[in-house]
Structure 1
Amino acid sequence: MDVRTIVGTNVRRYRGEAGLSQEGLAELMGVDRAYVSGLELGRRNPTILTLWHTAMALKIRPSELLEFEGPLF
C-alpha cells in the first residue's frame, strides 16, 4: 500500500472521529479544503511539517497518521 494512501485513510478516519468537516480541518491546519481532500484521497505528498500540523489539528500523535494494519510487503 502506498504511504500517501495510508496517510489519507488515517486523516479521513481521525477527522470523522473528531467530528470535523474537510473545511473545518483545513481551517485548523491553515490550508484550503481542496488540500485536505487531496490529502485524504492520497493525491498529495505531505511534508513532515504538514503531517505535524494535521496531527495537531486532529489532536493525535503524528505517528498515528502512518499506522496501518496489514503486511508491509
Structure 2
Amino acid sequence: NDVAFDGSNSMGRIISWHWEFGDIRDKEDEGEIVHFTYIQHGSKVATLTVTDVFDNTAIDTINVEVTPR
C-alpha cells in the first residue's frame, strides 16, 4: 500500500518538510514530496511539519485509511 504525500502547497519560503507516517515502524522522511509503504491496514495519521527561512514551523495532519488488498 504505497502512498504519495505532497507538501508542495505549503505556503511561505519553506526550507524543510518533515513527515511522520503513523506506522508501527516509526519511520520518518524528509522532502516536499515523499512516498511511504504501509505494511498494516487500518487508520493512520500522517503528520507534516514544515519550517520556513525564518525558523517558523507549522504542522498539518491527514487521516489515512489503509485497506487490505
Using the size of structure 2 for normalisation, the TM-score is 0.32
Greater radius of gyration (CA): 2
Higher helix share: 1
Higher relative contact order (CA 8 A, sep 6+): 1
TM-score of the two chains, using structure 1 as the length reference: 0.31
